[in-house]
Structure 1
Amino acid sequence: MKLCLLIFVQTVFAVEEWNSFKVTYHKVYQNPDEENFRQNVFLENLKLIKAQNEKYEQGLSSFSVGVNRFTDLSKQELFSSKPSAHFDSSVKIGSSGPSFTQDVPDSIDWRDFGVISRVYDQLLCQSCWAFAVVGAIEPHVAIHEQRNVSLSEQNLIDCVDSNFACDDYLDREIVDKTYQYIINNNGIDTLESYPNIYYSVGSCNFSAENVGARILGYANVTEGDEEELKSVVGTLGPVTVVITTDMAWSVYQDGVYYKENCMNTTEIFNHAAVIVGYGNDNGEDYWLVKNSWGFWFGDGGYIKMARNRENNCGIASIARYPLI
């Protein structure tokens, strides 16, 4: 009898959570079948959220999670990578970076210097790579050319790969292709001249007259070398990274995200973002990562990811930065 009562109470609570979620995030579904599907996805994700927060409250995990506007989406909708393909880390694409002669600060947040643009939302288009590259180039221009400029992700979405579609798998070499496109193209257009339409891919309308920035080249951080990554971020500026993420990552709320077995999956390197700083939070070293899922994600669009924990989630495996 008590077990039946417990199940009933849990069911009622879950339905209340679902109804609250729909109101809070203005969710409207096309038909009852779609709503039923979304509700089931939401309830599965809700179980994950509750389990993770129990671990956090018991001191067994360094981060907490919570319901956000992504909680009715599946992992396949949020992250996209090709399980059959594996990034060949032995291939060094791009240029060697400069030597570091200045002191590397213990912590840095490039937002404090007024060089980081606002958080954008890629919606359901798998275009994280475009936002991750622009998100690194813009602050490098501000830091090294002393000018702020907003650049067009849509320019990259439309022009880097004519075969790209918003529901494509993430090509793990797309970051290199994108930096090389900007070099070969002699620039990238401004956001004002080439507005973002996000969940759509259009014809390439690049105009040389509207170039907002050019780069001399781009460089790699040595695979897995977090000290070198710290040196780059601390002295030169933000870095584009390709990382391994999961549903817990998508509902991150606070603390330092660390997953012991996050690379133990066939779906590695399934998201691109930008490291804009690093530091320490209550004894936990972290990378400050800017995402492209709007302000609803994480802490105002940002997440702290584990640093100096054996390259957790591949944070330093595919790291690139522009040379201005």
Structure 2
Amino acid sequence: MKLLLLLFVSINVVFASQDWNAFKEKYHKVYKNSKEENYRKQIFLKNLKVIEEHNKKYTQGLSTYTIGVNKFADLTHEEIYSSSKSSTRREVTTVRSSPTPKFIPRDDVPESIDWRDYGVVTPISNQELCMSCWAFAVVATLEAHVGIYEGRNVSLSQQNLVDCVDPTFTCSQYLDIHALDNTYQYIVDNGGIDLRDSYPVEYYTVGSCRFKSETVGATIKAYGNITEGDEEELKAVVGTIGPVTVTITTDFSWDLYREGVYYNGDCMNTDEIFNHAVVVIGYGSEDGEDYWLVKNSWGTYFGQDGYIKMARNRDNNCGIASIARYPLI
């Protein structure tokens, strides 16, 4: 019996080492020394166990989505969202708000839509480990609206927003609840946002504001606001106007999402309410589950080539309709 147990453990060690080596090769992981690599390996193996246990629930019909190894599998959830766990949420004064026309319900809301089908959704970006999701989400939303209403494909500068919207911002700070309002209002008051080519992204860096009016790539007149928690209004706006920037609450299961419709009954039970900003670019149903089609900014290794389907019509799961904004061009 002891011999069989030893053999079982040895086989598991071999498979674990193969998984670890394959992970390092696929995601080009290089560590500064053996101590760091061993630390990352232990986190990876722990996460691998979480993945296996969750996917067993999926096969048993107890979950609507699967998770899997991606480039974040050697990190903790805290590391993904902040380089400093002791960081506090930014509390900045909301800038003067421009008048936002009230959304008028329409009768022609489609049952499903994917704005990628219209050629207006720009490629997936990667914010890396800087907590600048709000800048990437607003840019992705505005790029899509420029495509819809002006017929132009543009690449706008996230760095312009990172440097200029809030002078107190650092890459290790939590998402502020006013971030979307402040960012959209900045674009209104500033007379636009620069093109990415003229104001390129500098990862992990927040610098002085270097906006140039002569290289503006897009402008907006104002921004719209979804009634807090109203998924029907969010559907109507996404379906008839265009993509919407939203803030959500995530945990490690979200970080490792692979496929299916993501529903997490515990996602709001956390001290880090609304810790990520993303873009709703469509909605539909899959295997009887209504979903929001969401564009993330973690590169194409995340989820389904950079996208995730999140539960719709399930009591505003993960707060997806709580803080939702869209540009008015």
What interval of TM-score do these two structures reach, taking the shorter chain for normalisation? over 0.9
Letter in 2 for 1:170: L
Q: Is 1:51 paired with 2:56?
A: no
Q: Which residue of 1 aligns with 2:244?
A: 239
Are positions 1:7 and 2:9 aligned together? yes
Q: 1:183 and 2:188 equivalent?
A: yes
Q: Deviations over 1:285-317 (max 9, x none)?
A: 000000000111111100000000000011101
Task: Structure 2: give runs of 5+ residues left out of the alignment.
Answer: 92-96
1:262 counterpart residue number: 267
TM-score normalised per structure 1: 0.94
Cα distance, 1:197 vs. partner? 2.0
User: Could you say which residue in structure 2 is the equivalent of 1:248?
Assistant: 253
Partner of 2:174: 169
Q: Are 2:87 and 2:173, in contact at CA under 8 Å, matched by a contact in 1?
A: no
- What is the Cα deviation at residue 152 of structure 1? 0.7
Unmatched 5+ stretches in structure 1: 88-92
Q: What is the identity, as a one-letter code, of the residue corresponding to 1:101?
A: R
| 2:26 paired residue among 24, 27, 31 | 24
Instruction: Name the CA distance, whole Å, in 2 between partners of 1:6 and 1:309.
Output: 43
SS of the equivalent of 1:316 reads coil
| Secondary structure of 1:124 counterpart | coil
Quote the residue 1:90 is aligned against: none
Partner-residue secondary structure (3-state), 1:289: strand
Of the three residues 310, 313, 321, the one matched with 1:305 is: 310
**In structure 1, what residue type is equivalent to 2:68?**
G
- The 8 Å contact of residues 82 and 267 in structure 1, kept in 2 or not, is answered as no
Residues 140-178 of structure 1: CA distance to partner in whole angstroms, max 9, x if unpaired? Answer: 122122222211111001111112111222222111111
CA RMSD of aligned residues (A): 2.0
Deviations 1:53-86 (A, max 9, x none): 1111111111111111110111112124999769
SS of the aligned residue for 2:42 comes to: helix
Name 2:94's counterpart in structure 1. Answer: none
Aligned counterparts of 1:50 and 1:270: Cα–Cα separation in 2? 26
Q: 1:86 to 1:199 in 2, by over 3 A?
A: closer
| Aligned-partner SS, 2:250 | coil
Structure 2 partner of 1:222: 227
- The answer for the alignment partner of 1:135 in structure 2 is 140
- How far residue 3 of structure 1 moved from its aligned partner, in angstroms, is 4.3
Task: Please state how far the C-alpha of 1:15 moved relative to its aligned partner.
Answer: 2.2
Equivalent residue in structure 2 for 1:193, among 194, 198, 221: 198
Q: 1:36: which partner in 2?
A: 38
Q: CA deviation at 1:250?
A: 1.0
TM superposition shift of 1:102: 4.3
Q: Equivalents in 1 of 2:102, 2:192: separation in Å? A: 20
Deviations along 1:235-263, whole A, 9 cap, x unmatched? 00000011011111111111111111111
**Structure 1 position 13, deviation (Å):** 2.0
The 1-side partners of 2:223 and 2:137 are apart by: 14
SS in 2 for 1:147: coil
Pick from 277, 291, 296: which aligns with 2:296?
A: 291
The answer to whether the Cα contact below 8 Å between 2:87 and 2:172 also exists between their aligned partners in 1 is no
Aligned residues: 320
- Secondary structure of 1:279's counterpart equals strand
Q: Contact 2:280–2:292 (CA<8 Å) still a contact in 1?
A: yes
CA distance in 2, matches of 1:232, 1:240: 11
| Matching of residue 71 in structure 1 with residue 81 in structure 2 | no
Q: Deviations along 1:30-74, whole A, 9 cap, x unmatched?
A: 112211221121112111111111111111111111111110111
Change (3 A) 1:164 1:85: closer
Once structures 1 and 2 are overlaid, which stretch shifts more, 167-176 or 94-103?
Answer: 94-103
Give the TM-score taking structure 2 as reference length.
0.92
